[in-house]
Amino acid sequence: MRRIGIWIAVGGLLLSTAACGGGSGGGSGTGGTPKAQSLSVGFVAEPANLDFTSTEGAAIPQALLVNVYEGLVKLDQDGKIVPLLAEKWDVSADRRTYTFTLRPGVTFSSGAPFTADDVVFSLDRVRTDWKLKIKTQLDVVDKVEKKDDATVVVTLKRPSNGFLYAMATRLGAMFSRTGVADLPNKPVGTGPYVLGEWRRGDSLRLDANPSYWGTKPALSSVTLKYFKDATAMNNALLTGGIDVISSVQAPESLQQFADPGRFQVIEGTTNGEVVLSMNNGRPPFSDKSVRQAVRHAIDHKALLDTAWAGRGQLIGSMTPPTDPWYEDRTGDYPYDPAKAKELLGGKTYTVKMRIPNLPYAVASAQVVKSQLAQVGVTADIEPLEFPARWLDQVFTKGDYDLSIINHVEPRDMGIFADKSYYFRYDNPEFGKLLAAADEGTEQEQTDDLKQAAKLLSDDAAADWLFLFPNLIVAKKGVTGLPQNAIAESFDFTALAKQ
Amino acid sequence: MTLYLVRRLAVLVASTAVAGVVVFAFMALLPGDPAEIALGVNATPEAVAELRARFGTDRPPAAQFLDWFGGLAQGDFGTSYVSSAPIGPQISDRLGVTAVLVLGGMAVALAVAVPLGTYAAVHHRDPLGAAISALSQVGIAVPAFLAGILLVFVFAVRAQALPSGGYVPLAEDPVEWLRSLLLPWLSLGLVQGAVLTRYVRSAVLDVMREDYLRTARAKGRGRTGALWRHGLRNASIPVVTVLGLQLATLLIGAVVVERVFVIPGLGDLLLNGVAGRDLLLVQGVVMVLVAAVLLINFVVDVAYRLLDPRLR
């Protein structure tokens, strides 16, 4: 009883304190005054630094691309490539020469004008200074030349459909020749926002760029607040500490936001295929029929319902629905435990399932384990700390039988073409289809990639559990949120508050 | 006393050095190459090799250790692998936040424990005194993070009276600063207060049975008066020892509470560093924590001597 008394007494104290501080609101974005045109958005991963040319991590382009750095082109919400710093571009008949016409009157946040020289500088820099392997996506570029101040000509070694797409990613970000001295701390771009204040471990504030060339953002600032704990992020939205949860980490927590008078839930798609990877390089999964048995043994609908509250989409191969060559391949291996047992030929196996200690992987692994057990495959789950231990054991050394990871990179079917990649999948036919797709016309690209996705599925190179959903929760009245998360950036340009 | 101080200081320095070796060795045992993790799954082998050379992680461990420890001795914590920012300023920024958190938690613990513990001892035969004693037992079983989650639910989510997390620097807005710290202080302090209450109670009980207290009462002082005049100073000796140990526990508790309340303190820095294998940063933070605990022990030992003339 006494203890309850203490709690009540303490409560009274706190409430009176709260009353004293009343009216000041809970931090940024909650005040009702007309000039409080700022928003704060909760994220789970904080950038290690601000240099995405030499540091891995989705958090950096998520915050800076399109918002601070702009490219010549960008991806729209349907996955289409649209103009940004280039007004238009022409492709030569042999599809090897791209002529970009630059938008006039664009300046960097440092005040320097954006010209053809900066385009040449930025694209050359990818080859000379970038540290990440993705830079090889621009290896197809033969030369970049300035024709005049507003025109740049890019010549490719061979026709490539991947080139323009890569230009819409961070690889195509435009840097100022005088603005790369301190990339980890001082980004200089042409975008609608500039870096305001970065409180390491807490938040990153982007302020509206007063001299932006395009439509100025409706908000004076956007604060990205970082939470390592999903519950803490949910609480922050419930208590007005933030206005938006950029990506819900536990779909079952959505019921807290069920009141439409206060919150809105936005569900869209991502590029994230949650893959049950099977080590094609060693027994038992070097045997195609064992892999096929696994695909038949898993009830994907039940898995999605149990592990991820039914949010997300079943896909069946390595392609999200926003890619032009998407086909629903979920019918290739319908749930059929009897067929699975038949494919296993009465044999039983014990395998190592080494998964990252991430919520979706842990939840999915439980279901996979119990479903595999029904056909005679015992999967021992071993959670590994992500990223360090998972990268080391599974990704680098390939020491695993089964794993589960969300492959978030866009248009990443090509990882199956690399037989040293941790899937250890080796089918030369697949590589040929991919190469042909890149060089072919748009129609040929679509046809070849459909073929490639079908081949992966037929070969049971892996099993695709589900497509990761894009789940955003926001306060009522917040508009301009991107429904689909298919680009690398979290686009703040249309964000507004009513 | 001077000789004692010198001896005690020498022990302090020696144990810090030993701690340095242990911390470094443990870091070397952590799986995962910092360069590979910094560059991620898409790194080229050349870039990884270049980064290893830049970090100096391609050199023999002994050379790396001497470099690091030599730097530490001059107050240089080195440069972070991941953010390429100097580590020293990051640690001192975060240390300030954590210190405020721990000291506030300690203040709450003392504010709870001293009156309640003393009352429970003086009235140990009354039902109320027994109830305090029993409830403090329950409090001991509650981890600080659980207390934090409960407090957030009641005062932030339900009552909407206080922020559920986040930290506002004092210089920016003193009122918000206080509001952002109240729940973290309480979640650290109430649990520690429960532990401390039991120590205070038993220390006061012990003192009450001492002959000098009986003498004081025989000379006409009341029970409370005798305790005030002669008892509390003596009762504080074992409590101070426990207090030192508890400060160390609070420091560890703060690491977890910082995560619950999204406070950018040392614990948050440490956990990020471990995840990103920012080894120099982790080594630096752990060394600061170890040094803090050693220093607390040192201060407790000295305080013990000052409080108890028989030991001088």
Q: What is the dihedral of CA B32, B271, A228, B195, to 10 degrees?
A: 140
Place of tokens 């990882």: A415
Is there a domain that residue A175 lies in? Answer: yes
Using the Cβ of B179 and the Cβ atoms of chain A, whether some distance falls under 8 Å is answered with yes
Is there a domain that residue A47 lies in? Answer: no
A75 & A164 share domain = yes
| Inter-chain touch B268–A228, beta carbons under 8 Å | yes
The type of residue at A279 is N
Q: What is the pLDDT of residue B8?
A: 87
A185 & A274 share domain = no
Chain B residues with beta carbon closer than 8 angstroms to that of A57:
40
A274 & A140 share domain = no
A451 & A317 share domain = yes
A81 & A177 share domain = yes
Tell me the pTM.
0.83
Mutate to test the interface with B, among A170, A186, A391 (most CBs of B within 10 A): A391
Domain end call among A190, A222, A242: A190
Alpha carbon B303 to its chain's center: 18
Per-residue pLDDT of chain A (498 residues; tens, 9 = 90+): 333 333 333 333 333 333 333 333 333 434 334 454 899 999 988 888 899 998 877 899 999 999 999 999 999 888 889 999 999 999 999 999 999 999 999 999 999 999 999 999 999 999 999 988 788 899 999 999 999 999 999 999 999 999 999 999 999 999 999 999 999 999 999 999 999 999 888 899 999 999 999 999 999 999 999 998 888 999 999 999 999 999 998 898 899 999 999 999 999 999 999 999 999 999 999 999 999 999 999 999 999 999 999 999 999 999 999 999 999 999 999 999 999 999 999 999 999 999 999 999 999 999 999 999 999 999 999 999 888 889 889 998 999 999 999 998 889 999 999 999 999 999 999 999 999 999 999 999 999 999 999 999 999 999 999 999 999 999 999 999 999 998 889 999 999 998
A179 & A303 share domain = no
Chain B residues with beta carbon closer than 8 angstroms to that of A10:
186, 190
| Inter-chain touch A201–B94, beta carbons under 8 Å | yes
Domain end call among A190, A210, A234: A190
| Inter-chain touch B262–A391, beta carbons under 8 Å | no
Place of tokens 């794993």: A403
Crossing angle of helices B144-151/B174-208, nearest 10°? 130
A182 & A287 share domain = no
A279 & A155 share domain = no
Is there a domain that residue A401 lies in? Answer: yes
A184 & A305 share domain = no
Chain B residues with beta carbon closer than 8 angstroms to that of A21:
175-176, 178-179
Domain end call among A190, A206, A229: A190
Alpha carbon A445 to its chain's center: 23
Q: How many CB pairs under 8 A join A and B?
A: 165
A210-229 residues touching B, CB cutoff 8 A = 225-229
Is there a domain that residue A17 lies in? Answer: no
A413 & A277 share domain = yes
pLDDT in tens, B251-303: 888 888 898 898 999 988 888 888 777 888 988 998 988 888 888 888 888 88
Using the Cβ of B88 and the Cβ atoms of chain A, whether some distance falls under 8 Å is answered with no
A444 & A328 share domain = yes
**In which band, very low, low, confident or very high, does the pLDDT at B42 lie, cut at 50, 70 and 90?**
low
Is there a domain that residue A31 lies in? Answer: no
| Inter-chain touch B162–A14, beta carbons under 8 Å | yes
Using the Cβ of B127 and the Cβ atoms of chain A, whether some distance falls under 8 Å is answered with no
pLDDT in tens, B174-218: 999 999 999 999 999 988 899 899 899 988 888 878 777 778 777
Q: What is the dihedral of CA A245, A251, A255, A258, to 10 degrees?
A: 50
How large a percentage of chain A has pLDDT more than 70?
93
Instruction: Give just the sign of the alpha carbon dihedral A21, B99, A59, A211.
Output: positive
SS3 at position A60:
helix
| Inter-chain touch B262–A387, beta carbons under 8 Å | no
Is there a domain that residue A348 lies in? Answer: yes
Is there a domain that residue A250 lies in? Answer: no
Give CA–CA dist A481/A217, Å, rounded: 13
Using the Cβ of B302 and the Cβ atoms of chain A, whether some distance falls under 8 Å is answered with no
Is there a domain that residue A170 lies in? Answer: yes
The CATH number assigned to the domain holding A179 equals 3.90.76.10
- Burial label for A148, CB within 10 Å (0-12, 13-18, 19+), is exposed
- The full DSSP string for A355-397 is EES-HHHHHHHHHHHHHHHTTTEEEEEEEE-TTHHHIIIIIIT
A274 & A182 share domain = no
Give CA–CA dist A314/A97, Å, rounded: 39
pLDDT in tens, B116-144: 998 898 888 889 888 888 888 888 888 88
Domain of residue A453, residue span: 270-468
Average predicted confidence (pLDDT) for chain B: 85
Higher pLDDT, A293 or B59: A293
Query: In this structure, are residues B284 and B78 in contact, taking their beta carbons and an 8 Å threshold?
Result: yes
Pairing of strands A73-75, A81-83: antiparallel
- Within 13 Å of residue B183, how many CA atoms lie on the same side as its CB? 34
The CATH number assigned to the domain holding A404 equals 3.10.105.10
Number of domains, chain A: 2
Find the CB nearest B155 among A14, A57, A385.
A14
Q: Does pLDDT of B222 surpass 60?
A: yes
Crossing angle of helices B61-73/B2-29, nearest 10°? 140
Using the Cβ of B2 and the Cβ atoms of chain A, whether some distance falls under 8 Å is answered with no
ipTM of the complex: 0.78
Find the CB nearest B268 among A27, A201, A385.
A201
Chain B residues with beta carbon closer than 8 angstroms to that of A184:
83-85
- The full DSSP string for A119-181 is HHHHHHHHHHH--BGGGGGGTTEEEEEEEETTEEEEEESS--HHHHHHHTSGGGB---TTS-T
